[in-house]
Structure 1
Amino acid sequence: MKNNSGHDMTSHSGHGGARPGGLSVSEGGYTLQFDSTILSTGVQTVTFRVIGPDGQPVTEFTPEHEKELHLIAVRRDTAGFQHVHPVMDRKGTWSVELALEPGDWRFFADIHPAGHDGAMTLGIDASVAGQYDPRPLPGETRTAHVGAYTVTLDGELTPGEASDLTLTVSRDGRPVTDLQPYLGAYGHLVALRVGDLGYLHVHPEGAPDDGTTEPGPEITFMATAPSGGTYRLYLDFRHADGVRTAEFTVPATAASSRSGAAPQAAPAHTDHRHGHHTHHADHAHR
């Protein structure tokens, strides 16, 4: 499903919400290949390639949301989320600097190979050496604090049904009405299904240049949860020349099972400023 700016509001996997993306290292003949899936702790450069059906690195991509490749890094316990934009050399090798803590990590590459009929999300696991202390999954969270910013989430994830999620941004108690465009939108939302990290990359309704979409304080998304369960949501937004990430934990449940809902028939804070090499949710993205 696309909004009026052409943004895909369900999933980059090309399955329209039928299943999340990023569960496979290969799709449609394309494979995500890291130079090493055993990484060191700390700030480091990670290199990888996308191998095409001909067995060679892909060097031509169709930009999606102003970038040829979006890389999402997150630890398996859903900590350490980073959304970055690697640089590719002439031979098709991508490189990017990441700040990694010990543990098991999942990496997602959002791509649209030139000539392919659509975008896709490929995923790969990697291990970061060191003493690993997994963090408990945060409980249901609908308000996130990121420095001076507060972001509230309104709406429900419903399995198999499109639903609106509205995120409202304030700073020091005042609504933010001058959000800045980031990658062609006022916000980007990634949803990960807890348990297998099934990946959804949703985008807001409207666009900064459509003449009707306001630059805050509300950003509304349409998302489809592929199944019931718990999801971690990560909102990237840009304000005062900085990109920040607000994190949430929400359940996806059928409308009829929610408290006070009438029965229905079944449907058919962390601050990671990469420039400072810290690891928190208020950060500057590449």
Structure 2
Amino acid sequence: MHAGLRITAYAAALAATFGTAYGVGQGIGPVVDDAAPVRHGAHTGDGDPERSPDSGGAGHAGHAGDSEQEAPPAGGLQISEGGYTLDLGTPRLAAGRTTDLRFTIRGGDGRAVTAFRTEHDKELHLIVASHDLNTYRHLHPTRAADGTWSIPVALPRAGGYRVFADFTPEKKNAENLTLGADLAVSGAFDPQPVPAPSTTAETDGYEVKLVGALRPGAARALKLTVSRDGRPVTDLQPYLGAYGHLVALRYGDLAYLHVHPNGEPGDGTTRPGPTVTFTATAPSTGTYRLFLDFKHEGKVHTAAFTVRAGGAAAEGETAEEAPHESSGAHGH
């Protein structure tokens, strides 16, 4: 796991900005809609965020000191990388119509890739996000024998989206890749600003609080605590091989960050809540959206946060190191 924003409506010749849309289809994981409530009372970095050890955890570069280090490259900004290409067979959709979103991962020879490693319980993770980052979908499409992936999706609002394919080819020494491609949807659109920064999110009757701060070029621990009706949730269920799954996207270009969970179910030390800890490194200053997926009582829920990563230490940030469990984090 590891600059204005332009969103264009297909009906307007891809020239309008800031559109919002959402997708619904079979195999859909967690969902965040633009209508979800957002609380703005808290500031990013409240509390005492913990810092990760010098190793950075899970392969991320970075040190616990205040000086910035070289950040790991962000994913999703390229349609081709490492000899692989995301071939989006459905680059545009009509609003209000259920359509199969189809795509193929092609190798350097142009042939469709049909062998992938299973990571976080899936061969491939598909993320669809609106360019204003109000809407987020984590999907798990089905792969046909010829290497074509597909999933039914309905997008009732016009706007621009970014489609991310997160995968690792089944090949010796192959590395995890996140490729990205643009998706346009025709129809009326409703411009929305990115939600204001907050360290508290509410979803489906749950409240999730964030402690931690993204730092450019430095690995930091992000601690998310889940409660319901004022009581901590201590019986989270594994989802995609962890008690939580976190995706971070940078506002402006939708750069995709690989965020790594610390510990895993059954390792003898990681508890099933209420707190789930991740290690993340921001590649630059800027505004980011964090999307936490967690499973409880058989259902997957998503909590979304807007945070800002700056060059200086965030308000309330201390020099504490992240828990030692971060050294055992597994990749996305």
TM-score normalised to structure 2 length: 0.73
Segments of 4+ in structure 1 off by > 3 A?
Answer: 7-11, 258-262
Which residue in 1 is equivalent to 2:187? 130
Distance 1:220 1:159 in 2: 19
Which residue in 2 is equivalent to 1:265? none
**Structure 1 residues 97 and 29: alpha-carbon distance in aligned structure 2, compared to 1, 3 A threshold:** same
Alpha carbons 1:9, 1:222 under 8 Å: kept: no
Which residue in 2 is equivalent to 1:80? 135
Which residue in 2 is equivalent to 1:186? 243
AA at the equivalent of 2:147: G
Distance 1:224 1:197 in 2: 15
Please list every run of 5 or more consecutive structure 2 residues that lacks an aligned counterpart in the other structure. Answer: 3-51, 62-69, 319-332
Which residue in 1 is equivalent to 2:87? 33
1:186-238 superposed Cα distances (whole Å, 9 cap, x missing partner)? 00110001100000131310000101100000001010001100100000000
**2:187 aligns to what SS in structure 1?**
coil
Q: Which of 41, 48, 73 is the aligned partner of 2:103?
A: 48
**Structure 1 residues 17 and 90: alpha-carbon distance in aligned structure 2, compared to 1, 3 A threshold:** farther
Which residue in 1 is equivalent to 2:150? 95
1:260 shift after superposition: 7.0
**1:66 aligns to what SS in structure 2?**
coil
Distance 1:9 1:180 in 2: 26
Alpha carbons 1:9, 1:204 under 8 Å: kept: no
Which residue in 2 is equivalent to 1:64? 119
User: Identity rate of aligned residues, in percent?
Assistant: 53
Q: Which has the higher contact order (CA 8 A, sep 6+)?
A: 2
1:227-262 superposed Cα distances (whole Å, 9 cap, x missing partner)? 100100000000010001100000001244x44779
**Structure 1 residues 261 and 236: alpha-carbon distance in aligned structure 2, compared to 1, 3 A threshold:** closer
1:6-52 superposed Cα distances (whole Å, 9 cap, x missing partner)? x95759xxxx9422100000001100011121112234321110011
TM-score normalised to structure 1 length: 0.84
Distance 2:142 2:99 in 1: 14
Superposed counterparts of 1:109-188, under 5 Å: 109-115=165-171, 117-188=174-245
Distance 2:121 2:110 in 1: 27
The root-mean-square deviation of aligned C-alpha atoms, in Å, is 2.2
Distance 2:143 2:60 in 1: 27
How many equivalent pairs are there? 254
Structure (1/2) with the larger strand percentage: 1
